[in-house]
Amino acid sequence: MQRHPSFRARKAVPGKELSTQIEARIQQLWSRFPEGRAGKALCLPVLFLAQEQFGHVDAEVVDIVAKRLGLVPAHVTGVATFYFMLNQTRPGRFHLQICTNIGCQLVGAYDVFDRCKQRLGISNKGTTADGNITLTEVECLAACGYGPVAQIAERERPEIPLYFENLDNKRIDAILDALAEGRVPTELGN
Amino acid sequence: MGLFDVKIISEHFEVPDAKNLDYYEKKGGYRSARKACSMAPESIAAEVTASNLRGRGGAGFPTAMKWSFVPKDADTVYLVVNADESEPGTFKDRHILYWNPHSMIEGVIIAAVALKVRNAYIYIRGEMAREYKVLQAAIDQAYAKGYLGERIFGTGVSVDLTVYRGLGAYICGEETALLSSLEGGRGWPRLKPPFPAVKGLWGKPTIVNNVETLANLPWIIEHGGKAFADLGTGRSGGLRLVSVCGHVNKPGVYELPLTVTGRELVDEVCGGVKGGRKVKGIIPGGVSMPVLAPDELDVPFEFDALQKDERIKEVEVRPGQKFDLGGNRTLRTMAGSGGVVVMDDTTDMTQMAWRIVHFFAEESCGQCTPCREGTGWLAQVAHRIAFDHGRAGDVDLLASIADGIAGNTICALGDAAAWPTLAFLTKYRDEFEAKVRGAHRPPTSNWGAA
């Protein structure tokens, strides 16, 4: 979706721009797509990288991405609201995602999920009052043989997310303890 | 060497070094790609035809036939690898991407030569961050060696391979939704025809192949299509990666002959059901596929057998009325994505059925009304039944909603929600009716409640 010549971009948001790393990535990927198609094709990758930079994708970030790629903000908003991995509001520092789909459900995922809700005092998609942990029930993570499985993402740290497999009350307690201390227990992850 | 010992893709699974190009090449890797670069595209296609290779993503469509749909005079053809594995119960492609990424990359090169592709893309599931790193590193190694990019292996062939990460939408595993997403939009499926092989990415002919499908190509080129066909049975060549989860002692990914039955898979390959209990049901190919009852487990987990073997009961809309798959066909089950879910005799089938339709309600893309609304209704009614507040008539209501969705949507997600629902009702109807009869208020659980 190329911008119509009559389209006027909203005013740039002062003080917020895409990082030099994202710029470099755009340069690197641009030529991999056919002439005239790259701007739109890069919508997903750039939104994802922008989320790593800013923590979430709100209207402001949508505008920045749309402007950079020459797309109408309505298209970028449509994409940003379609995909589960793009957060429209700021999540907690740690995003704890528990798979409860069938493979995990059969081996006790709801016990693990209930344990998290109970210990954190929040419900699905809630964030703890201190902003430390957001808890989300997610769909299949393609690790069904090793369930129950959780994934933890740390805000603005693209090298984490990690999978945590074969969870039980003991292992999820250890994970929750570590998150409360402000660290992802990578030693327990895969 | 026993039949279970033959391996094509999984031989070096669990070997940490197998991700590295040097290791892969030492074991004979990239010989086939090199050979393919000097082969005529038609000869490669002929080997694939002879191999009886069928798509490993879910539909089991013959790979060579899919390739043959590309118009001969096409100026630009794209190849897209579908690595958006997200069918619940399936985790085999993730193993290939992590343990043996070069087998798939080599398959991409071979397919690119056969289809005269200059630009190939891999659409990988966004959640697979670990696999993405491994895959990108493997591709970088291949570029550094001159096995990807301009004039690969010093021949006249040039192939670029770009990784594109999804962002968490199950629907993007559907090939036309994948293309919409790869073009930078919402993952909305498109009507077929035109099929992607004729009009795909950016309107150009595009072949979308699954990771496992492509990872089989190096072996086919090395040993010949016929040898691959001989490993298989009937119209299905080769071996198959099967991922097994649920109540078995040894869940995991196994590369097996297509003749293996459900019972052999559980008892011999996976060490039996946990705690010595009995099987109550097995889903043979990801949760979209109809469940098998304990008396249906002696059928081989092979594409044609699971569809046609009369030992498997036909799915019904209500007792005595067979579900109409269209074209006078009835539905038994299908081999799907190779994701096997084993449920023991302590499993509450009403809760399984609810969790499956709840998943499809979450993942419906929202384009077609029967699916967008219908999957939500399925989830609501199934939840009522499963958690003890079902109402009289709910079992028939569930079947009628499912029957109303099936066949009435752009893509197969609607069918994927309807088929398992009807299959659970066909095979465990008594359990659903007993649940409704014994219902009481308030509900016993709030799992999944909005």
Query: Do B252 and A79 count as a contact with CB atoms less than 8 A apart?
Result: no
Q: Rounded to whole angstroms, what are the CA distances from B158 to B41, B87, B311?
A: 14, 33, 50
Total number of domains in chain B: 2
Cα separation of A20 and A2, whole Å?
Answer: 24
Same domain, B369 and B265: yes
Q: Which residues of B touch A47 (CB under 8 A)?
A: 167
Question: For chain B, what percent of residues have pLDDT higher than 90?
Answer: 94
**B190 in contact with chain A, both atoms CB, cutoff 8 A:** no
Q: Which of A169, A171, A31 is nearest to A111 (CA)?
A: A169
In-domain check, residue B7? no
Give the nearest partner residue to A139 out of B126, B253, B359, using CB atoms.
B359
Same domain, yes or no, for B224 and B265? no
Q: Determine if the peptide bond prior to B88 is cis (ω within 30°).
A: no
Does residue B11 fall inside a structural domain? no
- The residue among B78, B91, B93, B266 with the most chain A CBs within 10 A of its CB, best to mutate, is B91
Please indicate, yes or no, if residue B10 is contained in any of the structural domains.
no
CATH code for the domain in which residue B171 is found: 3.40.50.11540
Domain containing residue B384: 245-437
Helices (H), B10-52: 21-26, 31-37, 41-51
> Is the same domain home to B264 and B203?
no
Residue of B88, B128, B167 with shortest CB distance to A102: B88
Check B247 against A107: CB less than 8 A apart: yes
Chain A CB contacts of B91 under 8 Å are 142-145
**Could you say which of B209, B231, B253 is where a domain stops?**
B231
Structural domain contains residue B176:
yes
CA B342 → CA A108, B94, B250, B263, B437, distances in Å? 14, 20, 11, 11, 27
Position B426, amino acid: T
Task: Give residue A4's pLDDT.
Answer: 55
Q: Is B5 inside any structural domain? A: no
- Cβ distance A139 to B247 less than 8 Å, yes or no, reads no
Edge to edge, the sheet with strand A157-164 lists A133-138, A94-99, A150-154, A157-164
Reply yes or no on whether the pLDDT at B3 is more than 80. no
pLDDT at residue B329, as a whole number: 93
Q: Which residues of chain A have pLDDT under 50?
A: 6
Q: Could you tell me if B220 and B270 lie in one domain?
A: no
**B338: closest CA among B260, B237, B243, B268?**
B243
The answer to whether B322 and B316 are in contact (CB under 8 A) is yes
Amino acid at residue number B85: E
User: Which residues of A fall within a CB distance of 8 Å from B125?
Assistant: 142
**Alpha carbon of residue A187 to chain centroid:** 22
Contacts of residue B191, Cβ cutoff 8 Å, sequence gap at least 6: B410
Q: B439: pLDDT confidence band, cut at 50, 70 and 90?
A: confident
Please indicate, yes or no, whether residues B127 and B25 belong to a single structural domain of this protein. Answer: yes
For residues B385 and B432, what is the distance between their CA atoms, to the nearest angstrom? Answer: 7
Domain final residue pick, B231, B253, B271: B231
Interface of B with A in 217-246 (CB under 8 A): 243-246
Task: Please state the rounded mean pLDDT for residues B293-303.
Answer: 96
> pLDDT by residue (tens digit) across B396-419?
999 999 999 999 999 999 999 999
pLDDT at B243 over 50: yes
Q: Is B292 found in the same domain as B146?
A: no
pLDDT in tens, A67-105: 999 999 999 999 999 999 999 999 999 999 999 999 999
Q: Does A142 touch chain B (CB under 8 A)?
A: yes
Rounded to an integer, the average pLDDT of B96-121 is 98
Flag if A139 and B185 touch (Cβ within 8 Å).
no
Inter-chain touch B169–A78, beta carbons under 8 Å: no
Of the residues B231, B265, B300, which one is the last residue of a structural domain? B231
- Spell out the alpha helix ranges (H) of B262-412: 262-264, 303-308, 349-363, 369-386, 394-405
Q: Are residues B128 and B224 in the same domain?
A: yes
Q: Does position B137 have pLDDT exceeding 80, yes or no?
A: yes
Q: Indicate if B66 and B146 belong to the same structural domain.
A: yes
Domains in chain A with CATH codes: 20-82 (1.10.10), 94-188 (3.40.30.10)
* CA–CA distance, B425 with B291 (Å, rounded to integer): 10
What pLDDT shows up at residue B450?
44
Q: B219 and B123 in one domain?
A: yes
Measure the CA–CA gap between B91 and B97, rounded to whole angstroms.
10
CB contact under 8 A, A44 and B351: no
For tokens 């499809």, the residue is B360
A140 close to B (CB below 8 A): yes
B338 and B315, same structural domain?
yes
Per-residue pLDDT tens over the stretch B146-195: 999 999 999 999 999 999 999 999 999 999 999 999 999 999 999 999 99
B262 to chain A, closest Cα gap in Å = 17
Surface of B (307-346) touching A: CB under 8 A: 339, 341, 343
Query: Which residues of chain A neighbour B130 with C-beta distances below 8 Å?
Result: 162-163, 190
- Find, in chain A, the residue whose alpha carbon is nearest to that of B352: A102
Supply the pLDDT for residue B108: 98
Q: Does A45 touch chain B (CB under 8 A)?
A: yes
Question: Which of A88, A98, A106 is the best residue to mutate to test the B interface, defined by the most B CB atoms within 10 Å of its own CB?
Answer: A106
CB contact under 8 A, B355 and A100: yes
- Two tokens at B198? 């004729």
Q: Residue written as tokens 């074991």?
A: B27
DSSP result, B230-247: HHSBTTB-SEEEEEEEES
Cα A147 → chain centroid:
21
Residue B4 counted as domain residue? no
Where does the pLDDT of residue B445 fall: very low under 50, low under 70, confident under 90, or very high at 90 and above?
Answer: low
**B115 neighbors B222 (Cβ within 8 angstroms):** no
The answer to whether residues B201 and B313 belong to one domain is no
Category of B113 on φ-ψ map: left (φ > 0), alpha (ψ -120 to 50) or beta:
alpha
Question: CB–CB of B259/B267 below 8 Å?
Answer: no
Count other C-beta atoms under 10 Å from residue B335's C-beta: 27
pTM recorded for the entire structure: 0.94
In a domain? residue B39: yes
Q: Give the CATH number, domain containing residue B358.
A: 1.20.1440.230
Give the minimum alpha-carbon distance from A43 to chain B in angstroms, rounded to a whole number. Answer: 5
Indicate the average pLDDT of chain A. 92
| Chain B residues closer than 8 Å to A83 by CB | 126, 166-169, 187
Mean pLDDT of B288-311: 96
Q: What residues contact residue B161 under an 8 Å CB cut-off, 6+ apart?
A: B105, B108, B120, B121, B122, B139, B142, B148
Residue B330 lies in a domain: yes
- Give strand pairing partners of B124: B83, B165
Judgement on whether residues B265 and B176 belong to the same structural domain of the protein: no
